[in-house]
Structure 1
């Protein structure tokens, strides 16, 4: 039986938290973007709470969540770069203003390298 789209989103999000120290292997494009969307939604909701009625409490929760997701986000990004056949060191290009972020978006949106590569076997999901 196929999973609902909501279940897929949640499964990938939980998987990202479980693999927060796994900097090897590969992450499919779908996995990366599903986690990105959920993270964006959580940040958006926390931002709304921060601006409306919870103020300081929501700010604290938002900061804690952002700090907590740094490591899983980096690990997932490196695995995504591995899936496209690139080294995780390419993540550092994000520090180059504007151009670096655009390059990373292109890399993250690129299709997976078919078959095994130097980082692992193909992770068809």
Structure 2
């Protein structure tokens, strides 16, 4: 999980070209959610220890700062995920359609990418990586 997060956050943080596997996308989202929960837990702990709402503004500030830092990498990994499906990065805007848009976009994000090379680049999931991931070659 940490490796996928580091790849998306630090190595490909502003790379909007190429393709991202489902695991890269979802592990990045999982790590981001864990970081948000840590900030919220810190806010609660500091508020309890401080005897008031001292930690709440600090936590909100940390969450806002992290959101700004993670905005571009988050958008980049989402666009690359769309590229893995053979779709344009502009499909991200589908999520803004009320009710149906977020559901359809979630289905797209969970769909397996195209096998082989497509318009956006080579398949990031080679056969050997797939075998190693399953554990057959160990």
The bucket for the TM-score relative to the shorter chain is 0.7 to 0.9
Matching residue of 2:133: none
- Report matched runs for 1:52-71 at 5 Å: 52-53=45-46, 54-71=55-72
Of 6, 23, 34, the residue aligned with 1:14 is: 6
Q: Which runs of 4+ in 1 moved over 4 A?
A: none
Deviation at 1:84, TM superposition (A): 0.9
State the TM-score, normalizing by the size of structure 2.
0.80
State the TM-score, normalizing by the size of structure 1.
0.88
Describe the SS at the equivalent of 2:38. Answer: helix
Describe the SS at the equivalent of 1:69. Answer: helix
- Unaligned ranges ≥5, structure 1: 1-8
Describe the SS at the equivalent of 1:90. Answer: helix
- Which of these two proteins has the greater Rg computed from alpha carbons? 2
- Report matched runs for 1:82-93 at 5 Å: 82-93=83-94
- Unaligned ranges ≥5, structure 2: 47-54, 130-138
